[in-house]
Amino acid sequence: MIESEGITEQVTTWRTDVSAKIADKLGIENVMFEAADPPVFGWYVKNFGLEVNLFVDPLPDRAARVPPFRHLGHE
C-alpha cells in the first residue's frame, strides 16, 4: 500500500514520477496506491489502466454526509 502523502497529497506538484518508479520496480499487480481525490483516481486509471489497484478512503466523503448524532442523545 502506497500512501498518497508526498506523492499527490500535501505537495505543490504531484510526484507522479514516484508512482511510476514504484510500479515499474515492483510491478503494477503488486502494489496498491491511495487515491483519495477524484483527480488522483483518474490519473492512476489513465496512466496505469483499469487493472491498477487503488484504495479510496470513504471516510472524508462519509463525514460530510453523516448528520450529527443529536438524535442518539450525543452532542
Query: What residues does 9 pair with on adjacent strands?
Result: 5
pLDDT digit string (tens) for 17-47? 999 999 999 999 999 999 988 899 999 999 9
pLDDT of residue 36: 82
Are 51 and 70 in contact by the 8 Å Cβ rule? The answer is no
Q: What residue has cell string 484504495? A: 55
- pLDDT at residue 60 tops 60: no
Rounded CA separation 21/69 (Å): 45
